[in-house]
Structure 1
C-alpha cells in the first residue's frame, strides 16, 4: 500500500494522466456502439440535407454546398438529372434521392 502512495506522491502528473486514460477507456467502451455509427452519420447528414436544400427548397447548388459544409472533410456529388446526391466522408458513402414534392428526399439503403 505504501508503494502506491509513494508513486502518487512522486509522480502526481503521471497519476492524473493514468486516471484520465482509464476513464476515457471506460467511456469509449460504454459508448462503443454510438462511436461505430458516427462515421456513417457524417455522409448521411450531408447527402440528405444537401438533397433537401437543393431539390425540396429549390436553392442554388453553391448555397446548399455551403449549408452542409462541415468541419470534417466530405465529398459531394450531385446528379441533377436524376436528383440524386451522393456524399462520402470518414470512409463511408451515403446517397439521397428526391422522391417527389410530397415525399421530399430519402436516404437510400
Structure 2
C-alpha cells in the first residue's frame, strides 16, 4: 500500500478553490483535516525542505483556526509563503500567520 501524498499543486488548487469562493471556510478546513491529520501522509515530498515546512504550517493553520478567523488575504500570503527562500522564510511565515487570519 502506498502512502498518501499531498503535493504543492494540490494545496494550491484547494486554496484557489477557496479564494474563488468555490468552497467555503468549512470545506477548506475539512480538506486540511482530511489531508493533514493522517500521520502517514507525505506533505510536499518532492519539494524543497523549506517549501515542505511552509506547506505544513499553512495546512496546520487552516486546520486549527476558527472558521470566522479566515481572511481572504490569507490566500495571497499562503501563495507567497509557498515560494519562500531561506532569506524570506521567517518573514513570509510571520506575514501568513499574522495577516492571513484575524485575531
Q: Could you tell me the TM-score, scaled by structure 1's length?
A: 0.29
More strand by share: 1
Please tell me whether Structure 1 or Structure 2 has the larger radius of gyration of its CA atoms.
1
Q: Could you tell me the TM-score, scaled by structure 2's length?
A: 0.31
More helix by share: 2
